[in-house]
Amino acid sequence: MRGRWLLPLVIGAICLIGLWSCKKLVGPAAGRELSTVEGVSIVRVRSSGFRGSTSGGGIAEAYIEADSIDLLTCLGTVSNNHEAILVLTDLPAGQFRISARTESGGSDELTRKVCRAFSQAFGCNVTRRKVEMEVDILRCPNRQALLLADGTAEQGFYQHDEMPSGVRRTQFCSTLDNVAWFAGYVSRNFGAQNDIPNRKTLLQKAYVNETGIPGFFQGTLDWSFTDPLVIRSSLLKLGFELTSGKRTIPALVVEPRTPGREWIYFSDSDQRQEKMRQ
């Protein structure tokens, strides 16, 4: 008699677990507008013949139009992968059609609006703030060990050649702060565009310059669309020492919502004012 009652209970429990799991995987219903932020549209889609995004703008206007992309790819695109993305809670899986536009504030305001829309739509906090996290630190005890020529002015990263091996070689004339930034950007860009097991690790990748060496330098950096370790090897070949450590840096943070905690966005102007105070 006990067995007769036990079997239906077990089957019912399995069904409930299955329904809960499906709900967790499925996420928001397709075709329904999820954003309540003006100028931002977020709609989940089942599939589309087109998958990709376009973005652009200037000092005032900025926009993003994306179709059939996942939410982390969208965050990387709207922020141009300029900063690390620290994922402390998962966003819903699936593909989304996302459109956002701003008439003022440029890319900084556009990123703020998309972060706000994500926070409201998905019950989490997506913010830009300063956070302590693991980074790769560039050091150089001996300036003569660096295989870099002196530069005269900031020219940026201006030529990208493809080598026979498929590796890209970028010429630059820049500060070492920007060399460190470019190394992190290449890693984050790889993570944003590829759904791979170590994706979250790549999205939060950041390099910090602690060489203490001022001025501009000319040289080349190798990197790859398929191997994020190429850029690290290139830095070592240039004579940098790389160590891991925790530093407090600006980042996009995806985290659980904490009751009573205010939503904060650390803007570009906030960052500039902080540097001036330092």
130-174 pLDDT, tens digit per residue, is: 999 999 999 998 889 899 999 988 889 999 999 988 899 999 999
Distance, in Å, from the CA atom of 133 to the CA atom of 152, rounded to the nearest integer, reads 34
Residue found under tokens 């829309």: 117
Residue 7 lies in a domain: no
Residue 11 pLDDT: 39
Tell me: do 257 and 127 sit in the same domain: yes
Residue 276 pLDDT: 65
Statement: residue 196 has pLDDT above 90: no
**3-class SS at 214?**
coil
Residue 262 pLDDT: 80
Q: How many CB atoms lie within 10 A of CB 155?
A: 14
Among residues 100, 111, 127, 132, the alpha carbon closest in space to that of 265 is found at 127
Tell me: do 238 and 143 sit in the same domain: yes
Higher per-residue confidence, 156 vs 277: 156
Distance, in Å, from the CA atom of 196 to the CA atom of 198, rounded to the nearest integer, reads 6
Higher per-residue confidence, 25 vs 201: 201
Residue 2 lies in a domain: no
Q: Look up the pTM and report it.
A: 0.83
What DSSP character marks residue 263? P
Residue 98 pLDDT: 97
Distance, in Å, from the CA atom of 144 to the CA atom of 211, rounded to the nearest integer, reads 12
Among residues 127, 108, 107, the alpha carbon closest in space to that of 117 is found at 127
Higher per-residue confidence, 199 vs 137: 137
Residue 52 lies in a domain: yes
> In whole angstroms, what separates CA 163 from the centre of its chain?
27
**Gyration radius of the chain's alpha carbons:** 22
Tell me: do 117 and 199 sit in the same domain: no
Distance, in Å, from the CA atom of 146 to the CA atom of 98, rounded to the nearest integer, reads 44
Tell me: do 207 and 148 sit in the same domain: yes
**β-strands 241-256, 207-209 pairing:** unpaired
Residue 214 lies in a domain: yes
Distance, in Å, from the CA atom of 217 to the CA atom of 148, rounded to the nearest integer, reads 6
Tell me: do 147 and 60 sit in the same domain: no
H/E element holding 220? strand 217-223
Q: Return the structure tokens found at 197.
A: 């097991």
Tell me: do 146 and 225 sit in the same domain: yes
Residue 260 pLDDT: 80
Residue 163 lies in a domain: yes
Distance, in Å, from the CA atom of 51 to the CA atom of 260, rounded to the nearest integer, reads 38
Average pLDDT over residues 243-264: 92
Average pLDDT over residues 207-230: 94
Residue 15 lies in a domain: no
Contacts of 233 (CB under 8 A, 6+ apart): 222
Tell me: do 205 and 185 sit in the same domain: yes
Residue found under tokens 């790889």: 190
Tell me: do 103 and 86 sit in the same domain: yes
Residue 20: which pLDDT band, with cuts at 50, 70 and 90? very low
Tell me: do 73 and 152 sit in the same domain: no
Tell me: do 98 and 150 sit in the same domain: no
Question: Helix crossing, 71-78 with 106-122: angle to 10°?
Answer: 160
**β-strands 168-174, 217-223 pairing:** antiparallel
Tell me: do 141 and 242 sit in the same domain: yes
Tell me: do 162 and 75 sit in the same domain: no
Statement: residue 6 has pLDDT above 50: no
Residue 159 lies in a domain: yes
On average, the pLDDT of the chain sits at 87
Residue 18 lies in a domain: no
Residue 48 pLDDT: 59
Least-confidence region, from 22-36, 92-106, 181-195: 22-36
Average pLDDT over residues 200-229: 94
Number of domains within the chain: 2
The boundaries of the domain holding residue 218 are 133-247
